[in-house]
Structure formats: C-alpha cells, structure tokens
Amino acid sequence: MSDYIAPRHAKPFVYLTSKTKALHFSITEIQSRMELRQPDALNLEYTRTMMGFLLFQPAPANVGMVGLGGGSLAKFCYRHLATARISIAEINPHVIALRDEFSVPPDGERFKVLQTDGAEFVRSFPMHFDVLLIDGYDSKGLPKALSTQRFYDDCFHALTAGGIMVVNLHSDHSGYEQHIDRIKRSFSGDILLVEDRHGGNSIAFAQKHQPLTAPSAGSLRRPPLFDDAIWKSFQGLFAKILSALEEKN
C-alpha cells in the first residue's frame, strides 16, 4: 500500500453582492472579484497593473499563469489577446471546481487550466512563455515553493528571449524584501516595482536577457483584436508604469 497522502487544500467560498461575485478564503481578504455585468473585466486594480506587460510584450504567443483564483487575468487575456495560447497552473481542486461560477472559459485548443503545482509547471512545461503571470496565493499566503530562488530561476529559464515575468507580491508581508532580492538575482538585478498603495500590492516586472526600457515614441500599438475602448482605458495605467520606469532608470 502506498504511503502517499494527498495534500489538503482549503475550500474557498463565494461572496455575492448585487453587483459583484468574489472568491475568498477568509472574509477579510479577497482573492478575486468579478463584476456580474462584465465577467471579463478586471475589477481589482492590481490585476490591471499586471497587464502592464503589454508595454513590453504587446502580442504574446504563449502566456503562462500560476494561480487561477476567480480567473480574472485568465478571462481577460483569453478575450483580449485572442491569438495567444494561455496555460494556467492551479494546485487547489476546490478553486478549479468554481471555474463555472466565475465564467472561466472551458479548456480548448488555446486555453487550459492544469491542476498542478505552480513550481513544477514552470519547471517542466514543454513550451517557453512570452509572458509569465505569477499570482499564486493560497489561504495561508504565498506558498514557499513559489518564492524560492530556484522558482525564480526556473521562471527565468521558462521565458523566451525578451519574455516578461510579472509577480504579484504583498508589500506588507514578511519576506517581501527577500522575494525582491531573489527576483533580482534571477534577472541580473533589473526589475521594476509598481505599487498599488490602496491594495497593498507590489507588482514586479522583469524581462529576460534585456533591461526593461520604455517603448519608443509612437511605437506602442494596440494588440491585434484587442478591444479599442479597453485599450484606451489602460492609458492612465501605462503612464503610471512608464513614470515608475523613468524614475527607476
């Protein structure tokens, strides 16, 4: 008889209001929130900031994600980056079981949710990613396996040349500075931090084999098939990220 014991995963719950549906592990912290009238919209500010990768990779062919949650980023990329292949690692089966509650698209040729450990996903996925979005918090915070030096090294190796890694970190959590140092070591010291002061999130951007640089004047273009109104709504956010990049440089 095998001695293997399957890991126990916390069960999230859904909190419904007249306008939104949210995924929680505890009532004090929101994992994901969806607008009922616009299921594909990005309701939380930090998720919009993570989409800042479009400044550096406007038309990725392969997007990898660690952490499904309520599927906000997955749904948004599926709709607005209509030529991208999107692969998501989610270790918690109870989270995956709620995918229909949050209008997450079904698995298909260019969209797939995999029940797997995020660290193993990054280490062994058969294709390289143009973009890696890391948002793998669970009921206890950021799992150790998703914050080691090896993990960030594996993220670096999983990217194509010029590929972008984007990590959601909580700036008020213990170990925050250590996570930043590890990302810097994996990416030759060059990262950009953009803070969401309202939510306490700090979004780290890092690019493989080249420093993050602002797009040249007139070079930023709306990705193919990207909704024009949504693209225009990102301009203020892009300005914030470019300002942070200018300050860093």
What does DSSP say about strands 129-134 and 13-16: parallel, antiparallel, or unpaired? unpaired
Helix (H, G, I), strand (E, B), or coil: what is residue 29? strand
Give the residues across from 134 on adjacent strands: 66, 167
Alpha carbon 248 to chain centroid, angstroms: 22
Give the list of residues 6+ apart from residue 85 with CB closer than 8 angstroms, or none: 61, 62, 63, 110, 111, 127
* CATH fold for domain 43-212+223-248: Rossmann fold (3.40.50)
Task: Per residue of the chain (249 residues), give pLDDT as tens.
Answer: 344 344 578 899 899 999 999 999 888 888 899 999 999 999 999 999 999 999 999 999 999 999 999 999 999 999 999 999 999 999 999 999 999 999 999 999 999 999 999 999 999 999 999 999 999 887 777 888 999 999 999 999 999 999 999 999 988 777 899 999 999 999 998 999 998 766 688 999 999 998 898 887 667 788 888 889 999 999 999 999 999 999 987
Enumerate the domain spans of the chain.
43-212+223-248
Which of 40, 117, 130, 135 does the annotation list as catalytic? Answer: 135
Alpha carbon 99 to chain centroid, angstroms: 17
- pTM of the entire structure? 0.93
CA distance 147 to 169: 10
Closest-CA residue to 52 (of 211, 206, 216): 206
Task: Tell me, yes or no, if 117 is annotated catalytic.
Answer: no
CA-based end-to-end distance of the chain: 59
Residues belonging to the chain = 249
Tell me if 104 sits within 8 A of 113, measured CB to CB.
yes
